Amino acid sequence: MPPQNIHVIVRVRPLNTLEKKRKVKRSCKVVRTGVDESELDLSPNRARQGLVQVELPSDGRRPQVGMRKSGGNFDKSYKQYHPAVAFPPSSTQQEVFQSSNLPSLINHSMNGYRTTFFAYGQTGAGKTFTVLGEDKKPGLLFRAVNYLFKATKLKSEKENMKFTVRLSAIELYNEQCFDLLTTGHARLKPLQVREHNKQGYYVDRLTGIRCINVNQCIHTIKGAVRQRTVGGHQMNARSSRSHLMITLYVDGTYLTGTGASTFGRITIVDLAGSERLKDTKSGNVKESGFINKSLYTLGKVINGISKNGGTLLPGTTRRHNQNIPFRESVLTKLLVQSLGGDNMCAMCACVSPGSHVTGETVRTLGFAMMVNGIMNHPSIHIDEQEKLVTDLKKEIEKLKRENIQLKHMVIEVSQEASLASSKGVGGGNHLGLVSEIDRLVVGGDASVGVGDVDDDVGDGEFFQFDDEDEEVCEEEEEEYDEEFEEEEEDYDEGKEGEEYEEEEEVFEEEEEEEKNNGHYYDVDESSPPVSPKPSESGSPSLFPTASSPMKSNIDTSQRIVQLKAMLTEAKMQLESDGDEIHPHILQLENELEDLQKELQLSAQLAGLGVSLEDSGEDPDGEQQRALEAMIAATMSAAAGGAGVGGNGRDYEVQDSNYTESESDGDEGESEQAHYSEPESLPTSPENPNNVSNTSNTSGRSNPFNWDDSQGETENWRNMWSNSLRILSQDLEEDDAAAKLGVIDQLGGEGARKLFGGKKKATKMTKRKLKKKNRK
């Protein structure tokens, strides 16, 4: 805010009853009030818009203040003063309040400025009347309180703020400061006026009462005023014998945005009146002396500031403003920042109109004009400690709110994760991965031999079940359920008609067709999932072909390796981000491991299991030789570390059964020992794959070229044959169980995607289930 001079108004009181009775002449009158412009123009030039004229008496014998000597006599003359606003005796309290600049000061106090309004003048000039007023003519203080509460209400509604108003009341009596809001002993104990290097002078341990409304505030002020020291003398029957300072602290807080706080205040001062003992004939000389001394110091301070260019130098420490004696009085210590400092200030000079006090009137108006020339440099005051506490409180509140938000986010994310995991929906990076792997592990990927699924899945993207999908699924599922129930009823009641049988045939044909195309993963236990049936006439194909599930298994194996790499990458990313690794990821890692092993086994079983089953139909031993070659290849792969391993579990083949056993936990060991070999099994490292050039005495192939004189090859083959057959059955059961689980979890749509991507697939699945139940 730019510098601004102290707003000075002059109020001329009416003649009192006694003066009228004595027919006292008027020497002071208001020529021009300047009221109209005062509210609009706050520039320094406007300060002389009111006009007060004082007629100086001339008895021709001795000079009066402001008289000019003319020809040896002192002429009758006038002295004119130009305050901002001048109020004639007829002015009402409300008119004075409106043009006193007090409303403006209050508005500024709500913005964080410190403001002061003080009444100055001779004793009996009407200061107390102006500030406090009378019962039916409340003074500016009470009007200010009323205005303040209304203004804070309006501002808080308009700018979403919250205001707190506190009140303090002191009197400066005999150069001591007393708290008027205390009683008893505390009331009589003077308070210390201390100096703060940044905040200036302040009253230590001063009581501040929070005011919640106008009435309470006014009631409190009246209580304080009643405690003020008053006394009677010849010029005023109820004269104030102390300086009264009422301060309203206005603390505002913005409830939105930055949440900044303001700490403004408005201090209204009713000074004790200057008096001449010979006029007042006051009995308490000491009291009068202190009053006059403080007022005299005030005059010196104003004078010093005027000489200082009309303003205080920044700061109030002893180093500054050496020529301004504000430390000589408690009053000036407390007012110094209002006189050329960083407070905003207004002053009301109260004068009597009577010619019998013209000299005092001239003195008062002269003082007023000097004050009028003082420039203040208003700035918003921030109580560093209060600000720090407020800021910290706000910070804590903000952090608390953020903490609550984060907790909600964690809950939401965890719910989404579990939902995505249960539905197979890709939610985020690693959740999508989890979903993908989940789907693969339970058999939902096209490459497992499931058949044609949605394009997005085929492109390597994740399932995206949205709400719409789910609704469609539910509708279709209901439709199928109804259909299925009808069929079930027909079946139970033995009403299988031609239509049903035809339909059954069509489905079976389609089923057969899909099986041949490798697009159908049968859940029926009687139908092995990955073993191609040998042809009726020729030798079975022991090696993968383009249409064989073996091809799919190889694709799946590659896909698993990719997914494991993605999983490892995701884990590393989570670890580097400091995030917790989803337990599902670890579980899926193990499941991927198992799946990889099972796929390797099933790849071999696809060829070996069938040939062993049909070994009785192989009189030439051709299939057996091929079988042994395959076994040799498997063993070679195992010995060469083909298995990926890493989950600490090894398949241990013992006689005609297999069990899962925990490894010692050494990953290196488990990686190498993907398949643990029977201890008695001889190996042939020299030529493990050389199948065609080796044969034993019985004419059967001996891929390892060992001595078979003890018939060990035969024993070994039988043992492997049994082991693999059992393992094959176990895997089939596991697959079937997994698929049933998926059907339960995903419902019709999931099953359709899983088992063919068509309605008929779901229907077929249900038929298969029905068959299974019947069995």
Ligand X SMILES: Nc1ncnc2c1ncn2[C@@H]1O[C@H](COP(=O)(O)OP(=O)(O)OP(=O)(O)O)[C@@H](O)[C@H]1O
Which one, 125 or 743, has the nearer CB to ligand X?
125
Residue 243 binding ligand X, by CB under 6 A = no
Residue 121 engages ligand X in binding (rule: CB under 6 A): yes
- Residue 311, annotated as binding a ligand: no
Q: With CB under 6 A as the contact rule, which of the stretches 116-124, 570-578, 589-597, 758-766 interacts with ligand X? A: 116-124
**Cα–Cα distance measured from residue 625 to residue 631, given in angstroms and rounded to the nearest whole number:** 10
Torsion sign, CA atoms 548, 554, 555, 559: positive
295 binds ligand X (CB under 6 A): no
126 binds ligand X (CB under 6 A): yes
Please pick, from the candidates 10, 28, 125, 437, the single residue that binds ligand X as defined by CB under 6 A: 125
121 is in an annotated binding site: yes
The token pair that represents 460 in the structure block:
């390597």
Q: Which stretch binds ligand X (CB under 6 A): 118-126, 152-160, 165-173, 328-336?
A: 118-126
Structure tokens at 320: 């500054």
List the one residue from 109, 116, 220, 236 that touches ligand X (CB under 6 A).
236
The letter for the amino acid at 703 is P
Residue 126 annotated as binding site: yes
Q: Which stretch binds ligand X (CB under 6 A): 9-17, 28-36, 650-658, 672-680?
A: 9-17
Residue 493 φ then ψ, to 5°: -85, 5
Query: Least distance (Å) from ligand X to the CB of residue 274?
Result: 8
Reading the block at residue 32, the tokens are: 């021009």
Binding-residue total with ligand X (CB under 6 A): 17
Helix (H) or strand (E) holding 734: helix 712-754
272 binds ligand X (CB under 6 A): yes
Residue whose CB is less far from ligand X, 357 or 448? 357
Given the rule CB under 6 A, which of 127-135, 182-190, 210-218, 556-564 is the region that contacts ligand X?
A: 127-135
CA angle (325, 329, 330) in 5-degree steps? 130
Stretch that binds ligand X, among 25-33, 46-54, 117-125, 304-312 (CB under 6 A): 117-125
Contact flag: residue 123 with ligand X (CB under 6 A): yes
- Taking the least distance from each CB to ligand X, the nearer of 54 and 110 is 54
Is 130 annotated in some ligand binding site?
no
Pairing of strands 649-654, 675-676: parallel
DSSP label at residue 312: P
Please check whether residue 656 is in contact with residue 726, taking contact to mean a CB–CB distance below 8 angstroms: yes
Q: List the one residue from 331, 350, 530, 754 that touches ligand X (CB under 6 A).
A: 350
CB of 234 to ligand X, least distance (A): 11
In terms of Cβ atoms closer than 10 Å to its own Cβ (0-12, 13-18, 19+), residue 55 is: middle
Choosing from 5, 33, 115, 128, the residue that interacts with ligand X (CB under 6 A) is: 128
Shortest distance in whole angstroms from residue 189 CB to ligand X: 24
Helix axes 712-754, 467-492, angle to 10 degrees: 110
- CB nearer ligand X, residue 270 or residue 522: 270
Those residues with Cβ within 8 angstroms of residue 760's Cβ, 6 or more apart along the chain or in another chain: 507, 510
Q: Contact between 325 and ligand X (CB under 6 A)? A: no
Q: CA gyration radius for the chain?
A: 52
139 interacts with ligand X by CB under 6 A: no
Q: Is 229 annotated as a binding residue?
A: no
- Tell me if 306 sits within 8 A of 374, measured CB to CB: yes
* DSSP conformational letter for 125: S
- Cα 606 off chain centre by: 60
Q: Does 99 bind ligand X (CB under 6 A)?
A: no
CB proximity list for 59: less than 8 A, separation 6 or greater: none
Q: Does residue 444 belong to the site contacting ligand X (CB under 6 A)?
A: no
Q: Which is nearer to ligand X, 364 or 548 (CB)?
A: 364
Q: Which of 7, 82, 114, 127 binds ligand X (CB under 6 A)?
A: 127
Residues 439, 441, 442, 448, Cα dihedral to 10°:
90
Q: In whole angstroms, what is the distance from residue 312 CA to residue 340 CA?
A: 5
User: At its nearest, how many Å lie between ligand X and the CB of residue 357?
Assistant: 11
* From 125-133, 432-440, 464-472, 523-531, span contacting ligand X (CB under 6 A): 125-133
596 interacts with ligand X by CB under 6 A: no
**What does the alpha-carbon distance between residue 539 and residue 621 come to, in Å, rounded to a whole number?**
11
262 is in an annotated binding site: no
Does 584 bind ligand X (CB under 6 A)? Our answer is no
CA-to-CA distance for 508 and 154, rounded, in angstroms? 83
Figure out which of the listed residues 50, 200, 273, 340 binds ligand X, where binding follows CB under 6 A: 273
Q: What is the spatial distance between Cα 724 and Cα 658, in angstroms, rounded to a whole number?
A: 9
Is the Cβ of residue 20 or residue 400 nearer to ligand X in the bound state? 20
Question: Is 128 marked as a binding-site residue?
Answer: yes
8 Å CB contact between 231 and 239: yes
Binding site for ligand X (CB under 6 A): 13-14, 16, 121, 123-129, 236, 239-240, 272-273, 350
Known binding positions for ATP: 121-128
Output the known binding site.
121-128
